[in-house]
Structures are given as structure tokens and as C-alpha cells.
Amino acid sequence: MRKYVIMGVQGSGKGTQSQLLSADLDIVHISVGDIFRWNVQNHTKMGAYVRRTMAAGELVSDDLVESVVRDRLTGHDWNYGFIIDGFPRNRAQAEFFLESYDIDGVIVLDLPDSEVRRRVLNRRVCQNCGMNYNLLDNSPTVPGQCDMCGAELATREDDTEEALAVRLRDYHEKTNPVLDVFRRKEYVITVDARPAPEVVQADIREQLGLPPFKSDGPAPEGSAVA
Ligand SMILES: [Zn+2]
């Protein structure tokens, strides 16, 4: 059983790296952002709250994030382990989490703010099938059109300069206390997130003492995102 937390500002490739890690190791990728996006797309009550909050340029409350993760973890569909992305968000959650689960490692994807801005503002998503693109190194064949289904690509609603500035500030303020908690337990590995995804993945696996990625497996969903 392997249990990991992955941390890194939005655009650092958390989703891609989590999917690469979970693809052949059979661990479940738990993404708080994906759970919220699903709720928004499916017009749930929670989704309405998340949409309102983001439209106001604010952040979803730590309590809601915690309850979403708790619900997900009590689902017990993670026989071989999990990798969590988007949690914990504060010191109290980090301490609770460490008391409840034996964490094997905390992966920190390190990316300068200037590079985050460049990556995030170039992200596009298919409005029909949800396929992710990045105009920097993963443009669709026909500009503005999804390679998979031909539908129109759009910017995510929360990928604006203003919203990103808020998220970056929030990330730095909140991440440092969480990292302090994990660093005390010596769980943290730091990985340079600037190279290509497969290079970053190899670095993660080497530092965690895991076998190399098996490239003959199925391509992870959404692997085109930076
Ligand atoms: Zn599509």
C-alpha cells in the first residue's frame, strides 16, 4: 500500500504527475480540483457554491475541502493506495491527516511563479470531452479545436490573471505551514517541475525508490496537460 500527497501550485503538473504515478502502480488519484469541477459540471448544490466562490475570485473553504477528502477516503476503493492532490490546505488538516494515515511521501513540485503564469494562461480544455491542452507544447492540430472530438476549446473559467494572482498568493501563504508539518516528519521530496513530464516523473520515482514508469501501459487520461 502506497500513500502519497502531491503539492505544487496550479500549473506545476500535479494532475499529470499523479496520473503517471497512479497508471501502473494501481493507486487511486484523488484530486480535490477534479471533484469540484465534476460537481460544477453536474450542477450539484456543492457545484453551485464552488462556481459562485470562484466567480467572486475567492477560494473554496478549507472545511469543504476537508469533508470532500474525508468522504473520498472513506470510500475504500483504494486497495493499493492513493495520491492526493489539493489537500491538506492548512496545518490542522496536515496534522489530522498524519494521525489518520501512514503517509509514505510528500511530493513537492517546485516551479517559479513566472513559469506558473506562462503555463496556466496557455491552458485550454475541450468543452465537450474534457481533454486538456497546453498551447506551449501541446497545441491541438487545428487551432481552437479538440483533436479527440472536434469540439471548441476554451479557457477554464478560473484561469485568468486576476484569479491566478489570488491563487499564487494563497498558495504560498498556506503551503509553508503545511510543509513545515510534513518536513518535521522527513516525508518531503522536492522535484524540479520545469523539465518535460516524463523527466519529472522519473525524478519523483527515483527519489521515492519506486520502479521506473512502464511506458507500455495505457496512456494516462489528460496527460497532455502541463
Ligand atoms: Zn474534445
Q: Does residue 185 have an active-site annotation?
A: no
Could you write out the three-class secondary structure of the chain? CEEEEEECCCCCCHHHHHHHHHHHHCCEEEEHHHHHHHHHHCCCHHHHHHHHHHHCCCCCCHHHHHHHHHHHHCCCCCCCEEEEECCCCCHHHHHHHHHHCCCCEEEEEECCHHHHHHHHCCEEEECCCCCEEECCCECCCCCCECCCCCCEEECCCCCCHHHHHHHHHHHHHHHHHHHHHHHHCCCEEEEECCCCHHHHHHHHHHHHCCCCCCCCCCCCCCCCCC
Q: Which residue out of 2, 37, 72, 89 is catalytically annotated? A: 89
**Does the predicted model carry a pTM greater than 0.75?**
yes
Which of the four pLDDT bands, split at 50, 70 and 90, describes residue 1? confident
Q: Which of 48-62, 71-85, 129-143, 190-204 has the highest mean pLDDT?
A: 190-204
Residue 154 pLDDT > 90: yes
Q: What band does 119 get if pLDDT is binned at 50, 70 and 90?
A: confident
118 is an active site residue: no
pLDDT at 223 over 90: no
In the annotation, is 14 catalytic?
A: yes
Give tens-digit pLDDT for 87-106.
Answer: 998 888 898 888 888 899 99
C-alpha of residue 209 to centroid of ligand 1, in Å: 36
Which one of the listed residues 37, 72, 124, 167 is annotated catalytic?
Answer: 167
